[in-house]
């Protein structure tokens, strides 16, 4: 049995900050003198309401979310939002545009198509998603109810380095795997959503940031629990919210604020990624998967020229305490997910390990 913590490079659920886990452990059986765990509280109690509203306030402060935007904490993962976005918005014109830059954006598109006329406005499928389309390559229909894109492609290891200009078309983004890693101009978006288990908390809570005045196209068939207007009117408590996960999110946001906030996080994540890409670029064994201009700072994908060597690398890395480095099941190779909570030391040591592995093989 493992008796010390490993460096966990999992793509999600993924590593959480140790101080957060320790605080949650310390508060596990008796939160703030309440005599009970946060897991055991009524979501309508005063003590829990404070936890919930504070988490919203901390997120608003961290991302500088402007007035006019509401924050929802929902269940169902980012995947439920693929349907929710369409159900809430597509009624405006019956049409929507999607950029397909990986498997999650493709899933969003497939889900959207169930509820209206969805169109592919840009795609990187022609080169197996190693790049991100440029602004010029976005063919946006001015009649679209919204344009949807996935900001960071968790599986393929690419990220949008710019916010698409969609004119008057509402912009919607899945930020599940890069939210809180860099400042973002929220005012450019109609909706930002993200599952928590990459960069924010444990699996089970999904954050939806909604500009309230765009909500005019909700289809009558929309299930109540994902009806944004209804959930806004109930402060995400139409039904029981993912109560404990929101508490963990609050602790993560405290940790982020103590660290210096999102600007500091951007510096840290850029440094982490640069170390890994430098190692890959210097190497004659490791080959980066994505085009350089499109490389993700969150999910670093690479491979060697042999599947056996890839497997040997993953296996020896695991032995050395660097776990979950195997690439996505359909892509092979390696994927190093370096979300906010990954300590710098983890990446430094992994790079040393990669250099030594290359020398010995």
Residue from 101, 106, 154, 166 in contact with ligand PLP (CB under 6 A): 154
Task: Tell me how far CA of residue 283 lies from CA of 76, 94, 171, 303, in angstroms.
Answer: 41, 50, 39, 11
In the complex, the smallest distance separating the C-beta of residue 80 from ligand PLP, rounded to whole angstroms, is: 7
Which CB contacts under 8 angstroms, 24+ apart, belong to 137-140?
138/99, 138/164, 138/166, 140/97, 140/164, 140/166, 140/167, 140/169
Whether the CB-CB separation of 186 and 65 falls below 8 Å is answered with yes
In the complex, the smallest distance separating the C-beta of residue 64 from ligand PLP, rounded to whole angstroms, is: 22
Report the distance separating Cα 90 and Cα 132, nearest Å.
25
> Residue 227, interface with ligand PLP (CB under 6 A)?
no
In the complex, the smallest distance separating the C-beta of residue 260 from ligand PLP, rounded to whole angstroms, is: 25
Report the distance separating Cα 176 and Cα 153, nearest Å.
9
Contact mark string toward ligand PLP, 156..195, x via CB under 6 A: ------------------x-xx-----------------x
Which range of residues in 57-65, 75-83, 180-188, 273-281 is near ligand PLP by CB under 6 A?
A: 75-83
Closer of 65 and 150 to ligand PLP (Cβ) = 150
> Residue 250, interface with ligand PLP (CB under 6 A)?
no
Backbone region of residue 236 per phi and psi (left: phi > 0; alpha: psi in -120 to 50; beta: other values):
left
Task: Break the chain down into helix, strand, coil percent, rounded to 5.
Answer: 40, 15, 40
Report the distance separating Cα 179 and Cα 157, nearest Å.
15
Report the distance separating Cα 269 and Cα 279, nearest Å.
16
In the complex, the smallest distance separating the C-beta of residue 358 from ligand PLP, rounded to whole angstroms, is: 29
> Residue 98, interface with ligand PLP (CB under 6 A)?
no
Nearest to ligand PLP by Cβ — which residue?
A: 77
Q: Chain centroid to CA 259: how far?
A: 20
Residue from 8, 12, 189, 248 in contact with ligand PLP (CB under 6 A): 12
Nearest-CA neighbor of 259 among 62, 86, 108, 94?
A: 62
In the complex, the smallest distance separating the C-beta of residue 13 from ligand PLP, rounded to whole angstroms, is: 9
Residue from 17, 77, 91, 112 in contact with ligand PLP (CB under 6 A): 77
> Residue 104, interface with ligand PLP (CB under 6 A)?
yes
> Residue 198, interface with ligand PLP (CB under 6 A)?
yes
In the complex, the smallest distance separating the C-beta of residue 206 from ligand PLP, rounded to whole angstroms, is: 7
> By the criterion CB under 6 A, which residues form the site for ligand PLP?
12, 77-79, 104, 150, 154, 174, 176-177, 195, 198
């Amino acid at each position: 049995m493992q008796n010390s913590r490993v460096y966990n490079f999992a793509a999600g659920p993924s590593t959480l900050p140790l101080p957060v886990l320790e605080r949650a452990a310390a508060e596990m059986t008796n939160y703030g003198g309440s005599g009970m765990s946060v897991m055991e509280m009524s979501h309508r109690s005063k003590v829990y309401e404070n936890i919930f509203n504070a988490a919203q306030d901390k997120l608003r402060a961290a991302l500088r979310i402007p007035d006019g935007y509401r924050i929802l904490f929902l269940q169902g993962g980012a995947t439920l939002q693929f349907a929710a976005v369409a159900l809430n918005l597509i009624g405006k014109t019956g049409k929507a545009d999607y950029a397909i830059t990986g498997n999650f954006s493709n899933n969003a598109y497939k889900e959207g198509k169930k509820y209206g006329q969805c169109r592919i406005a840009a795609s990187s499928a022609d080169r197996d998603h190693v790049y991100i389309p440029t602004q010029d390559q976005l063919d946006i229909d001015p009649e679209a109810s919204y344009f949807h894109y996935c900001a960071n492609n968790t599986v393929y290891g690419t990220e949008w380095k710019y916010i698409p200009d969609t004119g008057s078309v509402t912009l919607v983004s899945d930020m599940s795997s890069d939210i809180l890693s860099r400042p973002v101009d929220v005012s450019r978006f109609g909706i930002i959503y993200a599952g928590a288990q990459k960069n924010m908390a444990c699996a089970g809570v999904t954050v939806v940031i909604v500009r309230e005045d765009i909500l005019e196209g909700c289809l009558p068939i929309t299930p109540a629990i994902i009806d944004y207007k209804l959930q806004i009117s109930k402060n995400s408590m139409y039904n029981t919210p993912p109560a404990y996960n929101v508490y963990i999110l609050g602790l993560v946001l405290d940790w982020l604020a103590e660290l210096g906030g999102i600007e500091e996080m951007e510096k840290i994540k850029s440094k982490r990624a640069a170390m890994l890409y430098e190692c890959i670029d210097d190497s004659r064994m490791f080959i980066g998967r994505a085009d350089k201009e499109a490389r993700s700072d969150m999910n670093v994908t690479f491979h060697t020229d042999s599947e056996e060597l890839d497997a040997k690398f993953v296996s020896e890395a695991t032995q050395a305490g660097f776990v979950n480095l195997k690439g996505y099941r359909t892509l092979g190779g390696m994927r190093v997910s370096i979300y906010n909570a990954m300590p710098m030391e983890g990446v430094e040591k992994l790079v040393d390990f990669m250099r030594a592995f290359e020398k010995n093989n």
